[in-house]
Amino acid sequence: MQQYESLGDNMDDEIDLLEIMGIIFKRKVLVISITVIVSLIGIIVGGINYYNGKSVNSIIGYNYDGISKGLNIDGSQFTTRDIKNTVVVRKVYNEYPILKEKGISLTEFMSAIKINGIVPNDISNLAENTLKKGQKFVYNPVDYKITLKLTNNTDLDSEILTSLVSECIKYFNYKYKGNETAPSIKIEDYTTYDYSDRVKIIGTNINVAKKMVKRLSDKDFVSKNVGLAYEDITAMLKSIEEVDLKNISSSINVSNITNNINERKLVLDNKIKELKLEKNKAIVRTKVLKDMLENYKPNNQKMIIPSLSETGMKISTEDEYYTKLLKNYEKSAINTKVLEIEIQEQELKKSELSNENIVVKEKITKDIENVIYKYNKIAEKINVMNQEYYNRYFANSVRVISPTSVTSNSKAKIIILASIILGAMLGLGSAFLAELKDQYYENKSDAKNKNNIQNKNNINSVKITI
């Protein structure tokens, strides 16, 4: 008996499943229509969401000592502002006038640029475990993701971001890697200058080169191409400065040679006027000090300043003050004498100025040309060394890890999938509801017909009884 009941249940289940499949097949147009309509709506909504969620991205990475500690090459603190700095952003913004045409301001452009440090998964796990232990964990990213969502045109955004990344790298190289070169000297550019001025120009270029070399000599670097260290270059520059230039200056001073007497006389006249003015100041200063010494009265510990009354000024340490006063007087008197001698020397130079000594002029000109040639050779070596130095220590200090690409952070796929599932469920639900509705009206019609038949039978029954 139980076996028959079990078989009956299985038959009911099979009938129910067949009945369901029959209903779905019967209402297939309704099911498919609702599913398609809802899915299309979902696809449209998902597409809009995907379109609005699209942005362009690029990843740049830094590779130099200090970045893992959050530092720039120069030791300053590294922040995202070093990537999104005003100089770079403004330059890129000005390169695209279309942004102004679209009404996008520089501030809006700056705000649209998002920069996030990339933390590898193993670092994230390590940080999580460390923090769970109650310990401090600090990680400074070396790779950064730059995201731009500015216009509704991803092609334009991609172009702008590519330009932004390129300018960012160029600015970094300009600021830290540097393309420093030692200035060279062209002899023909200075032939009209006086000899002493040429010496000053050479000296200025040497000082520029020395300062640059000093900045780069912090590492133990020896050039493979040149075979020198920066310390060797410094010694060579000092040799030119302290030997060659001094010898040329000495020759110019001794021979008092010039290639422009009138201009040189004017310079000397101005110098003599300045010296005479200093001399007059020194004479007045010396006289005042002498009067102070002569009017000093040690008995009442007062001193008399010529411009004050006899009362004078009270002093506390007689010997100390008098000694200082005497030293100042001596110093001022000596300075006055030195100025007199210097004025005489300048006047003598003026009277002995000459441009007639052809032999001396040729020698000095030749010496200056030799020094320029020697300096230019050193400058060439410096520039070769600099290129090698930067390539060794700063090659690929910042580089593009991932070129510009378009991504979307939208939930378009989820929306579309959910709409398809929802459409199918609504279609099936509608099919069953339609079937229930039909059954309801069918049952209602059957009941009505049954009642009519019953009433008719009742009437017939009454007639027979009568």
Q: Which tens digit of pLDDT belongs to each residue from 399-422? A: 899 999 887 665 667 777 887 888
> Which of 35, 403, 410, 385 lies closest to 219, judged by CA?
385
Under DSSP, the state recorded for 75 is S
Ordered strands of the 54-62 beta sheet: 113-117, 143-148, 54-62, 398-408
pLDDT attached to residue 196: 85
Instruction: Choose the weakest-confidence range: 55-64, 78-87, 165-174, 409-418.
Output: 409-418
List beta partners, residue 59: 145, 402
Integer Cα distance of 199 and 183 in angstroms: 15
pLDDT attached to residue 291: 82
Q: How confident is the model at residue 379 (pLDDT cuts 50, 70, 90)?
A: very high
Instruction: Choose the weakest-confidence range: 176-185, 198-207, 280-289, 447-456.
Output: 447-456
Q: Average of pLDDT values for 280-300?
A: 77
pTM for this entry: 0.49
Instruction: Choose the weakest-confidence range: 43-47, 268-272, 335-339.
Output: 43-47
Tell me whether strands 398-408 and 113-117 are parallel, antiparallel or unpaired.
unpaired
Q: How confident is the model at residue 60 (pLDDT cuts 50, 70, 90)?
A: very high
Ranges 92-101, 182-191, 217-226, most confident = 92-101
Integer Cα distance of 342 and 80 in angstroms: 60
Q: Is the pLDDT of residue 305 over 60?
A: no
Integer Cα distance of 138 and 118 in angstroms: 14
Q: Helix, strand, or coil here: 79?
A: coil
Q: What percent of the chain has pLDDT over 90?
A: 25
CA 380, distance to chain mean position in Å, is 30
Integer Cα distance of 164 and 83 in angstroms: 10
Integer Cα distance of 180 and 182 in angstroms: 7
Residue with tokens 């420093």: 180
Burial of residue 458, with CB atoms counted within 10 A of its CB: 0-12 exposed, 13-18 middle, 19 or more buried: exposed
